[in-house]
Structure 1
Amino acid sequence: MSATSTSSPKVNGKNALIFVLLTVVINSIGFGIMIPVLPDLLKELTGLANNEAAIHGGWLTFVFAVMQFICMPIVGALSDRYGRRPIMLLSLFGLSIDYFIMGFAPTIAFLYLGRIIAGAFGATFSTANAYIADISPPETRAQNFGLVGAAFGIGFMLGPVLGGFIGDAYGPRAPFIAAGIISMINVIYGFIFLPETLAPENRRPFKWSRANPFGSLKSLGRIKGVKGLIFVMFALAVAHTVYPSTYAFSTIEGLGWDAGDVGWSLGAFGLASIIVQGGLIRVIIPKIGLFWAGVMGMVSASIAYTGMGLAQAGWVIYAMGPFAAFAGLYNPALNNMMSTRVGKDEQGELQGAIGAAQGLALMIGPLMMTNVFERFADKTAPPYVPGAPFLLAGGLAALSLLIYVLVTNEDDRRARVSDVVEPGID
């Protein structure tokens, strides 16, 4: 039976898209709001210096990533079995609990508890991408994946600005409490308005043999090119961990910024991301094709990371903003290249496998980045290079581009979005 012959879920695709994008916006506000103040909260709870407190930031992300690595394939498989809506709502509820725990944490141990909960339920964006795959035909899927990125950009533009402002005015705990409130509102909103998009006939039985990172990769490995592209996404995700793990620490250390400066700069990045992923991507990808959009994104990422790593003044960080925004091209391009290789009943499993790869990246990346920062931000042990983690990320982005070229073929390079055909379902 072909994918085009199956019934579509009885929801308006446009309305479902709007609901998902609003959910991503609200959730990313909650995520971004805490970034500018996390260093201050860690220093308050541990009494450590800036470069030493960054190590706890890396371990917090590691704990979150371990839970994601284990749970994301399970969540993806559950969404293929029971539908997207209940899984999305459960995920959002878990994240809201995490923010409240972190906001009221009396000791550092409570921050770790919150991250465990968030990692176990952190399927928001993978489920959102499965939503997009459900409601988008192949020729518009990359653009709609880009809209998810733009929605994240909107929230990420507002979140750090709010976090920096609230943190400066009310202390480092207040943004976490605000994030919890925003996320709980999101749960209520989703419960009332979020539709189901996976039709019953497109669901498949839940199997533990496939609901784990190794089983899902083995299952998807039969599909040509998928494993190689997932590995590229993994390497890029390792590089991207430099933002949540060391951006605030690095700019505070190297440029003398405060939480407000960090928030405003991330807000500017979010605005640039909105312009690229919400608008330009709909022109760029149909014009140059998925493969070259991926190339453009990876080259831009390498330039952005390297520029930030070498920055000696704040304006350089802002100058790298457009490159950081164009880096957002690689994610929808890679996502679409993979999602069009699998059937409708495997979209959740694919997003779960991608989520597991990103979870593994979150296990490795933050520990790597924060340890590099601790070493090179120590003024007593030259060389003193607070931007060293970003230089490492730039190298990883360049390596990802090389691997990407090796795992794709001439057909991928020639293909345009209009050439993509939905696969059949076994």
Structure 2
Amino acid sequence: MVVPSITDVTMAALCPGKDKCSLAIYLSGAQQVIVGLGSLLVMPMLGNLSDTYGRKIMLTIPISLSIIPLLVLACSMTKYYFYAYYVLKTTIAMATQGSVSFLAYAYVADIVQASKRASVFGIVSGVAFVSAVLGNFSARFLSTSTAFQVAAAISVISLVYMRLFLSESLISNSICVNKSSESECLLQKAPAKKWLMFRNLLSLGDSISLLRTSPSFLKAAVIAFFYNVSEFGLYNSLMYCLKAQFHFNKDQFADLLIISGIAGSISQLIIMPVFCPFVGEARLLPIGLFFTFAHILLYSVAWAPWVPYAAAMMCVVSVFALPCLRSIASKLTGPDEQGKVQGCITGISSFAGIVAPFAFTPLTALFLSDNSPFYFPGFSIFCSAIAAMIAVILSMMIGPAPAINSIISSSDPAQTLV
């Protein structure tokens, strides 16, 4: 609901009345780097803790914290309130950005058989797209200040709903014993010595052990890195490029997000559950990544205001990539380590969020300035497309994920979903 507005809020606070603002671009890039650095450390820790204490309690933390920045801009959008929002958002996002998503994937992995995970991951992603469509559609009709007020209220409702109605999914007893397959309990097979949880929470030891123990997981991690470099590069540049080239504002940004959200919803809720059981996530992954490359490339060479809308429609295929990648990673370890695996992938994605701004923020500012070496406003987006193509090539080298049997407690109320 607030994503379409934040570019206008930032520009109005920092560069009133202008369509180009290098300060806004660099502040956004700096925020992305700081958040990525924090997430790189915190996400594996949250995944580790969720394997021990449960998904529900770990979900409570990011949902609760994410309400605070919304309340600041819900009160006022003047320059000093914006800076307060910026500091709070940057600090809190280090522990919240991406955490709800990966904990949801870990929750699904707890209760769904391995053979069905890719489809159900797609459904979870599809529900997120539906919510994005509703949020962005609301942003078209709400004033900017009202959007932040409503968003804060809905965040509180989601927290209350989660605490009241979500049942814990985690199996309490240890399942990872005497496994010989690479796909079972990688950390218990790792040659590294056991890490004490509270002694090494920030050491990233578990993530490093996962990467060293499984060549397949390492390949998935590298693909995740380049995929997220391309996504962060696109996110870091797109709205500023469209505002500078075609004078887009909140309403046009919302329209773009609605189109991509509808396309993603149709794909994840209808198309992917039908095709994935027959094609397999290992084959769908390069297809989704190729269309990720194609739609980013189209954004970069947009020559008319209608072109970004056409590019947004390509999300109907490009959104295959993330659920397939998450499903492949999920199948490479056992039930007791789903939080660690999903947290590791999210941490790697956060590392991409550190790398991307260093490359794309200066390029965006340079090619949107009057001193650009040649006229190509979308050059930084074009570089993001190159990163996506690298992910496409790497995805063709990863084999199908091994099927492992989900072990689900017969008393688990969520077993009916399987």
TM over 0.5: yes
Number of aligned residue pairs: 380
Instruction: Provide closer, same or farther for how the CA distance between residues 178 and 213 of structure 1 changes in structure 2, counting only shifts above 3 A.
Output: farther
Match of 2:95 in 1: 120
Partner amino acid, structure 1, of 2:119 = Q
* Higher deviation after alignment, 59-68 or 255-264: 59-68
CA RMSD after TM alignment: 2.3
Match of 1:141 in 2: 117
Q: d(CA) in 2 for partners of 1:303 and 1:325?
A: 12
Query: Secondary structure in 1 aligned to 2:170?
Result: coil
TM-score, normalising length: structure 2: 0.84
Q: d(CA) in 1 for partners of 2:134 and 2:236?
A: 19
Query: Secondary structure in 1 aligned to 2:375?
Result: coil
How far is 1:382 from its partner?
4.3
Match of 2:405 in 1: 422
1:79-120 Cα shifts (integer Å, max 9, x gaps): 001001111112100111132234445252541222211322
Match of 1:26 in 2: none
Question: Pick from 272, 292, 302: which aligns with 1:301?
Answer: 292
Instruction: Provide closer, same or farther for how the CA distance between residues 235 and 108 of structure 1 changes in structure 2, counting only shifts above 3 A.
Output: same
How far is 1:381 from its partner?
3.0
How far is 1:299 from its partner?
0.7
1:265-307 Cα shifts (integer Å, max 9, x gaps): 1101100000111110012222222211001011111110001
Q: d(CA) in 2 for partners of 1:58 and 1:219?
A: 31
Partner amino acid, structure 2, of 1:46 = L
Instruction: Provide closer, same or farther for how the CA distance between residues 220 and 381 of structure 1 changes in structure 2, counting only shifts above 3 A.
Output: closer
Instruction: Provide closer, same or farther for how the CA distance between residues 325 and 241 of structure 1 changes in structure 2, counting only shifts above 3 A.
Output: farther
Q: d(CA) in 1 for partners of 2:353 and 2:229?
A: 7
Partner amino acid, structure 1, of 2:163 = F
Partner amino acid, structure 1, of 2:227 = L
Match of 1:58 in 2: 29
Equivalent residues of 1:163, 1:263 under 8 A apart:
yes
Partner amino acid, structure 1, of 2:150 = A
Equivalent residues of 1:82, 1:203 under 8 A apart:
no
How far is 1:357 from its partner?
0.6
Runs (5+) with no aligned partner, structure 2: 177-194, 408-418
Match of 1:313 in 2: 304
Match of 1:247 in 2: 238
Q: d(CA) in 2 for partners of 1:96 and 1:360?
A: 25
Equivalent residues of 2:229, 2:353 under 8 A apart:
yes
Q: Is it true that 1:185 corresponds to 2:152 in the alignment?
A: no
Correspondence list, 1:21-420, <5 A: 33-47=1-15, 49=18, 50-52=20-22, 53-104=24-75, 106-122=81-97, 123-166=99-142, 170-171=143-144, 173-202=145-174, 207-208=197-198, 211-212=201-202, 214-221=204-211, 222-406=213-397, 408-409=398-399, 412=400, 420=403
Instruction: Provide closer, same or farther for how the CA distance between residues 212 and 340 of structure 1 changes in structure 2, counting only shifts above 3 A.
Output: farther
Instruction: Provide closer, same or farther for how the CA distance between residues 242 and 174 of structure 1 changes in structure 2, counting only shifts above 3 A.
Output: farther
Instruction: Provide closer, same or farther for how the CA distance between residues 100 and 62 of structure 1 changes in structure 2, counting only shifts above 3 A.
Output: farther
Partner amino acid, structure 1, of 2:120 = N
Runs (5+) with no aligned partner, structure 1: 1-32
Q: d(CA) in 1 for partners of 2:404 and 2:225?
A: 26
* Higher deviation after alignment, 151-160 or 254-263: 151-160
Q: d(CA) in 2 for partners of 1:102 and 1:66?
A: 25
Partner amino acid, structure 1, of 2:334 = G
Instruction: Provide closer, same or farther for how the CA distance between residues 110 and 266 of structure 1 changes in structure 2, counting only shifts above 3 A.
Output: closer
Partner amino acid, structure 2, of 1:193 = F
Q: d(CA) in 2 for partners of 1:182 and 1:355?
A: 25
1:301-342 Cα shifts (integer Å, max 9, x gaps): 111000111111222222223322311111111111111110
Match of 2:411 in 1: none
How far is 1:209 from its partner?
6.5
Equivalent residues of 1:223, 1:342 under 8 A apart:
no
**Off by >6 Å, runs of 4+ in structure 1:** 203-206
1:387-414 Cα shifts (integer Å, max 9, x gaps): 22321111111011122234x24xx2xx
Equivalent residues of 1:298, 1:401 under 8 A apart:
yes
Q: d(CA) in 2 for partners of 1:345 and 1:145?
A: 18
Q: d(CA) in 1 for partners of 2:130 and 2:382?
A: 27
Q: d(CA) in 2 for partners of 1:209 and 1:347?
A: 21
Paired-residue identity, % = 22
Q: d(CA) in 1 for partners of 2:139 and 2:360?
A: 23
TM-score, normalising length: structure 1: 0.83
Query: Secondary structure in 2 aligned to 1:247?
Result: helix
Partner amino acid, structure 2, of 1:153 = F
Q: d(CA) in 1 for partners of 2:38 and 2:175?
A: 25
Equivalent residues of 1:36, 1:260 under 8 A apart:
yes
Q: Which has the higher helix share?
A: 1
Q: d(CA) in 1 for partners of 2:82 and 2:309?
A: 35
